[in-house]
Structure 1
């Protein structure tokens, strides 16, 4: 640990060029994501999530770049801490969008309504974000030894630990859903096409990286709880800056880069009504979309995306529309599986009908 100014809010001498370097890197990745998602593959909602997350994270780095030259400025310190903490959960919400598209592409393997994967994780993520931001703000803004300051600080620590544990639990749930999808795809008689395989492996990697980040943040939260009322910082995660740059910043930057290289628009179509024929695992068909076949009220789909109520009544959670004959999708693109041209697809569809 390096020497630092006696009145610095940082427990180390911050490396001043790093916030600027990562601002440039994240800006470049954000622009690349924008070109790929908005212009090339037309995935605006995914592009919006990635752009939003990149903007929040860059704001954190820009604020930190200024804060490290003013280490006694409490508002700046709180702002950079909260913004850097807030970026990764938004990136995590973006990867749930990919899982939702996978379920729309393979509706017969979906345990949850595809269109509610993003909303479910996003709502839960917002709750986690509010807890984490509130906790971080209370911790950073109450450094005195008065009874009120100590109470607010310990409350903030409890909120932050709860938020980080919940975020780790969300990543475990997400990882489990991806594993469930792969398990269903690899059962005898099922198909695991290359484009789906690439997306599943990508989500395994990104989810694991996010989980590592959550674990380190949880350790930091428990370190804060073990500090004495006047010690401020204790434990290696808080006292050594490299934990932040390795497990938080570099780790999530690689996460963002992976989503840029293996952009989902390259492997999955933007139309949620396009699905893969369950029988041959090759032909893409145009169906009604699972959301249009689920006739429950909108609020019911939000509150019960898994349709547990139907399962309790021992009914099918979702209409099995894929068992019917649907027209072959036009303009099949090469996604790594045995893609058909438009004429071949139409001929295949006529033969099956």
Structure 2
């Protein structure tokens, strides 16, 4: 029974935890495109992780009660309700992630600065979040089917009676998510240093000071979109990208043009070639 409970918990727990990788990419993308950031880039991971932690707590509690219910119908139902609530909240979080990425993508497109690396990352985030969303919808439908067939021993509904649904809508999306994120690893498209950003010309990369908010940290948590600053007509963060001449140009290539890399051996090799060319 204990192994079965652990198995149920981990199956429901894994996809939301895995989604945290995508949340981190969104924050790093905002650091790379600070002029198009929806809110404080360094708050993205924290906001979504806290939301994900709440979802995780509900889902884990539900999975544990559901797996340990045995013949206790009331516990079985309460566990299922918690799982359904957790899945719906997870779907809402994924929709919010897609909306944030869409806002960044739209702003960059309007400014005419959507290089290949940014476009690839946006497509990756759209795709991976959609797969998690698809999985959540499947699990919600499955949970409602369970409620309608309590005590059923056979022909309990198509999802409960056919294992291929599980492979198609749980295993399949998560497997594609895994391969997609590894084949198009964000380390190939974003700089390691968060201070490095893409200039408004869409090609040049500069080493800026990093995102700086003049407000108290608690204010950035309570008002991440800086509504107060927008109402006053003066944003609370430093728009350092409007002063490009103050920041040095990165001489080791550009991720926007596919000539930069986070791999140290590649950087060293490129530096040697540049020095040889100068000689």
TM-score normalised over the length of structure 2: 0.85
Q: Counterparts of 2:107 and 2:175 in 1: how far apart (Å)?
A: 31
C-alpha distance after superposition, 1:232-271 (max 9, x if no partner): 7833223322222222123212111111111111110011
RMSD: 2.2
Correspondence for 2:5: 78
| Structure 1 residue 334, shift from structure 2 partner | 4.5
Asked whether 1:182 is paired with 2:105, we answer: yes
Matches within 5 A, 1:171-320: 171-187=94-110, 189-228=111-150, 230-231=151-152, 234-278=156-200, 280-290=201-211, 293-320=212-239
Listed as ranges, the gaps of 5+ residues in structure 1 are 1-73, 343-353
Q: Counterparts of 2:131 and 2:149 in 1: how far apart (Å)?
A: 28
Q: Counterparts of 2:254 and 2:229 in 1: how far apart (Å)?
A: 37
Choose from 143, 148, 155 the match for 2:70: 143
Whether the 8 Å CA contact 2:24–2:45 is kept in 1: the answer is: yes
Correspondence for 2:265: none
Q: Counterparts of 1:201 and 1:107 in 2: how far apart (Å)?
A: 19
| Structure 1 residue 179, shift from structure 2 partner | 1.2
C-alpha distance after superposition, 1:297-334 (max 9, x if no partner): 33333343223343455542533221123323434335
Q: Counterparts of 2:161 and 2:33 in 1: how far apart (Å)?
A: 47
Whether the 8 Å CA contact 2:191–2:255 is kept in 1: the answer is: no
Asked whether 1:160 is paired with 2:83, we answer: yes
Partner-residue secondary structure (3-state), 1:275? strand
TM-score normalised over the length of structure 1: 0.68
Asked whether 1:95 is paired with 2:22, we answer: yes
Whether the 8 Å CA contact 1:82–1:133 is kept in 2: the answer is: yes
Asked whether 1:120 is paired with 2:47, we answer: yes
Q: Counterparts of 1:204 and 1:304 in 2: how far apart (Å)?
A: 26
Listed as ranges, the gaps of 5+ residues in structure 2 are 261-269, 272-279
Q: Counterparts of 2:153 and 2:59 in 1: how far apart (Å)?
A: 19
